[in-house]
Chains A and B, each alone.
Chain A
Amino acid sequence: MARRMITALGLCLVLAGCSGIDHATLDGVTAMPDDSSLSTTGGAMHTGIATGFKPRVWTHDLWGTHEQSSGIAVQTSNPNVLRVAPVTNDPRVVVWAAGPGAATMTVTLNGETALDVAVTVTDPPN
């Protein structure tokens, strides 16, 4: 009886949206040689700068929060401004500032958005 109630409660919570993406992070963002920066809250990079990091995504369900190990991808809204590429044989990705402008870097889990990061790229000072 108790098991049935727990199962029913769990089903209700799932149907009510109690499972899904919990949060995402950019782990181990590599140092950039100037004052460029990139974090989960935004980025400001100079043209020509690159950085690497491991995107990490956690989901939650009735039993807690769980880090996902597959299905994670990183995309850019504007490859003329910001480019993204996976690292060979490595869970990290590299992003680089190709030209001035604005772009949104999106971390997805199985195609579902886990994190949007607004990135502004400006030319370096002369």
Chain B
Amino acid sequence: MTARRWAGAGGGALAVAIAVGCSPNSTVGVLGNGQFRYLCGTSGTDSACDGIASDTDLPAAIAVGATFDVGYAPNSSNHSGATVQGATGYEILAASPELAAATGTTLRALRTGYVALLAQRTGNANVDDFVHLRFEDIQSLSAEPPSLVLTPGETQTVRLSAFDALSAPLAGRIACEWTATSGASNAVVTAIAPGASATVQGVAGGAATVHATCGAAGLDVTVTVSGPPLADGGTHG
């Protein structure tokens, strides 16, 4: 059984979850005093969280510009059935504001490089443990599905995944802008915040191209719409 307690964030620090019991999906801190977890409960598309409802291992790399959440559990909380030690909670502090920023309970990757995330007891200057994360620029994107075939009025969701220069997947909830670059009268695209997914609705028979821009990378998704046009132009799905 896993329970979480969130501490209030303050001073640019990120409040993190505390787990009761041993979590199999975790990354041991450098000092061996606790475990870090990548939290997947937040809404938004994150390729590291596909099919995962709660938390998982820290990913190998996170996309610059993406947001993400990390939790920490000290080893002292791992004796089963016991009360969580340090029930006032822990915070995570990024080693440098140049590489990562905290907004409420969420971290944002700001530039390429490694950044240490330090777990501190709330209100205590001591560090319990730390771990490094790697941030990489998005170099390419892939879409699922890569193209759409719709009828007027039909809606389908497109999901993007980000990759680095070595085509390795990048985690994080990336922010993307979506536009219909051609055939805008045939299909309507609507981004799903924070932007790695969008819904596309067929409006009228014909072809359209939907373009997504995420950081410096872009991708076209072709849309083919067949059938008679919608009477309302697609505004009421």
Contacts and interface: CB of A to CB of B under 8 A. Distances in A.
Interface of A: 30-34, 46-50, 52, 83, 85-88, 90, 92, 94, 96-99, 123-126
A116 B125 CA distance: 23
Contact of A124 (B33, B97, B112, B130): B112
Given A48-B95, A98-B97, A123-B98, 9 more contacts: A33-B134, A34-B113, A48-B115, A50-B30, A52-B130, A85-B118, A87-B128, A88-B126, A99-B97
A37 B147 CA distance: 48
A80 B113 CA distance: 19
Contacts of B134: 33
Contacts of A126: 111-112
A87 B116 CA distance: 15
Contacts of A125: 112-113
Contact of B128 (A33, A88, A98, A124): A88
A96 B95 contact: yes
A97 B128 contact: no
A124 B125 contact: no
Contacts of A87: 31, 33, 126-129
Interface residues of B, number: 28
Contact of B114 (A49, A94, A99): A49
B98 A48 contact: yes
Contact residues of A: prevailing secondary structure: loop
B103 to A, nearest CB: 18
A97 B115 CA distance: 9
B132 A49 contact: yes
Given A50-B118, A92-B31, A126-B112, A86 B96 contact: no
Contacts of A96: 95-96, 116, 118, 130
A85 B113 contact: no
B219 interface: no
Contacts of B120: 85
Interface in B32-83: 33
B33 A88 contact: yes
B125 A49 contact: no
Interface string B90-116: 000011111110000000000111111
A13 B29 CA distance: 47
Contacts of B30: 30-31, 50, 52
